[in-house]
Each structure stands twice: as structure tokens, then as C-alpha cells.
Amino acid sequence: MDKNVKISILSELYGKLLTEKQEQFINDYYNNDLSLSEIAENNNITRQAVRDILKKGEKKLFEYEEKLMFMKRTLNQEKRIEKVLLELTKIQKEYSDKQVANVLENIKKELNSLV
């Protein structure tokens, strides 16, 4: 997974645990696609200060993920659900019993709501 995508996801999960500036700058840089210079200008600080705040925030996000592993567990759960959905679709196509098809459709709807 791309580092920028990873940081964006981690920010969603753990952003509130960062300082206000770290959260704001990470959101501006990774989600709003602002440059270091633009963020610096908007906050009346140097580009280097923005970079330092971003790096500290990124480091914290990775530390939180290393300890809590929410992103890893969520991605694993989504993969497992997708696998089950594929298997249900195979069963649904191979068997013509209406009751089985209805039960499988309900299960698929429930699993889709979890993804």
C-alpha cells in the first residue's frame, strides 16, 4: 500500500490522538493536497517547521498502529468478508433452490454492510 494512502487511513483512525497542529497539517498535506509551502504560508510559519510537525505526526501514527493494529485488523477483516462473499456468490449461482438463494442473498447484504 502506498505510504500516502496508509498515512491518510491512519490519520482517520488515530488523528484525534495527535496534537491539533499535527492533525491539521497531516489532513492538509495528505487529504487536501496542499504543499508544505502552502501550509506554511497559511499558518505563518516556515516550510521546515511544517515538515517537522508532519514528520512527528506521521511517526506517532505509525507508533499507534504498531501498538493497536486497527488498520491491519480492518484490512484483514475486509479481505475475509470479500472472500466469503465470493464463495456465497458461487453457491448462489450453482444451486437453484429459491430458499437457499434468498438466505444467501440476505447473508451477502449483511456482509456488504460490514465492508
Q: How many domains does the chain have?
A: 2
| Residue at grid coordinates 449461482 | 93
Please tell me whether residues 108 and 55 are part of one structural domain.
no
pLDDT per residue as tens digits for the range 51-103: 999 999 999 999 999 999 989 888 888 888 888 888 877 777 776 677 777 77
Q: What is the pLDDT of residue 91?
A: 76
Percent helix, strand and coil across the chain, each to the nearest 5:
85, 0, 15
Please tell me whether residues 11 and 60 are part of one structural domain.
yes
Please tell me whether residues 64 and 108 are part of one structural domain.
no
Please tell me whether residues 48 and 98 are part of one structural domain.
no
| Domain that residue 88 falls in | 74-114
**CATH code at position 24:** 1.10.10.10
| pLDDT of 105 over the 90 cut | no
Please tell me whether residues 19 and 61 are part of one structural domain.
yes
Phi, psi angle pair for 8, to nearest 5°: -60, -45
Dist. CA 32–CA 19, nearest whole Å: 18
pLDDT per residue as tens digits for the range 2-42: 999 999 999 999 999 999 999 999 999 999 999 999 999 99
What's this model's pTM, rounded to 2 decimal places?
Answer: 0.72
Q: What is the pLDDT of residue 16?
A: 96
Please tell me whether residues 64 and 96 are part of one structural domain.
no
Q: Which of 50, 78, 63, 45 is nearest to 7 (CA)?
A: 63
Please tell me whether residues 40 and 84 are part of one structural domain.
no
Please tell me whether residues 7 and 34 are part of one structural domain.
yes
Q: What is the pLDDT of residue 29?
A: 97
Please tell me whether residues 50 and 9 are part of one structural domain.
yes
Q: What is the pLDDT of residue 22?
A: 98
Please tell me whether residues 13 and 64 are part of one structural domain.
yes
Q: Which residue has the higher pLDDT, 110 or 71?
A: 71
